[in-house]
Structure 1
Amino acid sequence: MNKEFTKSKQIICFFLFFSVFMIANAERFTFKYNEGDSYRVLSSVHENVYFNGLFSHHAEIVNRISVKVGAVDDEWAEHDTVFMISESSSDRSGNPVFTWGEEYRSIFKRNKFGKYDIGDEYFMPVVRDVPIFPDKDLKPGDTWTASGEEAHDLRRGFALETPFKVPIRVQYTYVGPESINGKILHKILAKYTMNFINKQRPVDLTIDYPYITLGFANQTIYWNLENGAIEFYDEEFRIVIETVSGMTSVFEGTAHAEIADLIRVKPEIVVSEVQNQLKDLGIDNTNVVATEKGITISIENIQFKADSAVLEESEKRKLEKIAKILAMYPDNDLLVSGHTALAGSVYSRQQLSEQRAQAVASYLIELGVKDAYHIFSKGFGAEQPIAENSTEAGRSRNRRVEITILN
C-alpha cells in the first residue's frame, strides 16, 4: 500500500514537474515594432526554370529590401519598403555579378501577429501573412494553421495590372529554442501547398492567362524572441503555373533570407570625410554627393581600353585607393553605376554602360571590398548626363562610373 502510494506520489510529482516545465518553456510570439526603426532584408534565391517540361535556365536572384517603420499603435505598424530585385550574370572569371534590376516601393500595415493590410497597387512582398502567430502562448511541439497568400507580378507575361493572388493555408509547428551563433533563437516550421484554379477572366479573351497554380513551400524560420522579428529563414519551393492554353512554367529551388540593421550614413559628415580622403589619396576627377540611396562617389573620365569594358591599369590603381575608403563602411552594400557619353546607338550605349559597371564591381570584389552578394551593378547608357555632350570635355565627364554607399 505504502509502495503504491509512493509510486502514485512520484507519478503525480513527475506530471506536476513536467507541466511546470512546459509552462515555463511556453512563449508568446508577436512582432515588435518601434516607430522610426530601419532594417534591411537580404534574400538569395537559387532556382531552376522549366517551360513546357524542358529545362530553360538556372537563375540566381538577390532581393535587397529596405524597411522603415512608420506610425505604430497597439496592434498595427506602418511599413515603407523598397524592394530591389537583382539577377546574376558572370564576369570573365565566372564569378557572379548581380545586376541591379527592378525596384518596387510598397507601403502597408502589418499587425503584431503578422497580418498584412496592403493595397492592390503594390506587388511586393510576394509571400504575405507568413508567419502568422496565434494569440496564445506556444510550447515546443505546438501546431497551428493560418491563411496567407502569394502575390505575383505577372504584368509583363500576362498583362495583369494587379497582383495575381494565390491563397494558401499554412501549417505551423513550433519546434523549440536553439542556440545559434551565441543567440537563443526559436525554430518554427511553416509548410503549405498550392492548388488554385483562377476563375477570373481577362477582358481580352484572346490573351493567354494563368489558370492553374500548383506547388509547395517549406520554410524553416528562426525567430528572435527578444527583437520580435525573424532572424533568418531557409526555404525550399516548387511552383507550377499552367495557362488556359496549356503552357506550363515550373520554378523550383531554395531560398535563404537574413535580417540586418540598416546602417544609415550621415550625409553631411560622410561627404566631407570621403572628399578629404580622395584628396589625401591624390585621386583626381572624382566628385562626392549625397543621394536618396546613399553617398555616391562619381569617377569621371574613367579609362577603359577602346570600346570595351576592360579597365586600364591606371584605373585599377585608382580603384585600389578608393577601396580603402569603401572598407570604412563594412555594413553598407554598394551599387556600381555605369554611364556613357552620347555616342553610338541606344542599345550599344546601354550594353557598354552595363559591362563597365560590372567590370568595376568585379574588380572591387576581387580586391575583397565586398562579396558578390553585397555589390550590385547597373548601366544607364547616356540617360543621366552631368555635362553637355556637345564638347569633348563634357563627353569625358559623362563617361563615368559611380559607386554608391547604400543606406
Structure 2
Amino acid sequence: MRKLFMAIVIVLLISGCVKEKDASSETKGEPEQTSEQEKETEATDTAQDEEGDAEKATSELGDLEVKLSGEAIIEEDQIRIEGESNLLPGSSIYSGGVTDGGFASSTFIDTAEVQEDGSFSFEFSGISTSTTVKLNLYTNNQTEEHYGENLEKATGPQVYVTDTHGEYEVKAEFYIDVDQPMPYTIPIEIPQWQEKPDDYGEPEVWMEAEVDSDHEYLYFHGETNLVEGTRVGGNLRKASGIIDAFSFGFTRINPDGTFELRVPYYKLQKGMYMPIRFEPKNNVWEDVLDTYGEHGEKLKGELVEKDGEDQYVELIVEIDAPDFDPPKDVGLTVEDEEVKIQMPDDLLFDFDESTLKADAKKTLDDVMKDLQKLDENTEIQINGHTDNVGDPDYNLNLSKERAEAVWAYLEKSGDVTGLDVQIEGFGDTKPIASNKEEDGQERNRRVEIVINPN
C-alpha cells in the first residue's frame, strides 16, 4: 500500500513539471528578434507601405476629382518644375506665364506629357522679370472623352470657370519673384477653398479686405459675394486722390468668394488708400455680365457707384503708413514694425565716389526730420548696397564708405545721437531687384536706413 501511495505521488510530481514547462514555453513564445532582424522587418514593412501607396496612387489616375501639385526649383539660369498628378497618363499639361506688367511671357510656353505614374516635368531658361506661371490641363481627344468636351466632368478645387459659360479649366498657379535670393523652391499646392457665402451671386454686393505689406508689395486679402471669375483691382492712390505711379494690381475672384490682390509700391505716405473696384464694363466674362449686367445695371448695395450709364462696385481700403514724409525719389517701405528709408545712390553720390554731393545734403536734412521723431535708443541700421558690376571686394568697401558718409553727416548735422546706430556695407550681396537688367542694377545701388530692423 505504501508503495502504491509513493507511485501516485511521483506521477503527480512529473505531471506538474511537464505543465510548468509547457506554460513557460507559452510565456516565452518565439525567441526575441535581433536588431538586424528588426531592421529587416521594418524595411519590409516600409517597402510594403510604399508599394501600397504606389498602387493607391496608380489606382487614382484618371479620377474625375483632379489633382495637380509638385514644386518649382528657381535658379539663376534655369527653372525646373517637378509635377505630380492623378491625370490620365498621356494627357498633356500646357504651361504659360504672365509678367507683373501684364504681358505674356514666351519663356514659359511649352507642353509636358503626363507619365504612367502621373508625373510630369518642365525645364525653362532663367528669367529677369517676376512672373505668374500657370499650368493647364490641355484638351485633346483623350481628355475630352474622359473629362468632357469642356472639362465639365472634372471636379475638385483646381477646376475653375472661364470667360465662356459652361467651359472650365483645370489649372495650378504659382508666382516667381526674381527679387528673392536664388536658388529657392516654390511648392505647387492644391488650394483649400472655404464654403461660399450664403448670398453668393446676389446682386446686392458686399466686399471686405485686410492689408499687410513687405518691402515690395501691399497684399490685400479679401472676401466678397461676387461670382467666381469677377475681375477686381485698381491703382494705389495718394491722400490727394492722385494715382501713385506703377502701383496697381488686378485679380479674379476665387471659387469661394475670396481674393488675393498684390500691388507693388515704392513709397508709403500718410493718407494713402486703395480703391478695389469691380467694373462690369471692363469684364468680358459671360457669367459675370449675365449676373450683374453689361453696364452693372443689376448691381445693388452700399458699395455701388455710378459713372454715367455705368454702375460699379468700389471698396476703399485705407493704408496704414508711418508718420514720415520722405523727400522726392526716396522710398519708404514697411514690413511689420521694420521701416526702410531707401535712397538711390545717384541721389547722394557721383559715380564711383563716397563723398556726398552738395544736393545730397538737402535730401539728408529732410530725412533727418523723420529720424528726430524717433524715441531715444531706437535701433537703426545704415546699410550701403551696390549692384554686381565690378569687383565684389571693391564694391563691398565702397558700400561701407557710403554708409559711413551718410551717418557722419547725420550725426554732425542733427540731434540723432540718442539712436542706437549700426553701419554696414553689403556690396552686391543683398539685391532687391534682378541684376540682369539695368533697371534692377539701378535699384540695387542704394543706401538704406532701417528702423527697428527685424
- What's the TM-score, normalizing by structure 1? 0.30
Task: Indicate the structure with greater strand content.
Answer: 1
Of structures 1 and 2, the larger Rg is shown by 2
**Relative contact order (alpha carbons < 8 A, sep ≥ 6): 1 or 2 greater?**
1
Task: Indicate the structure with greater helix content.
Answer: 2
- What's the TM-score, normalizing by structure 2? 0.27
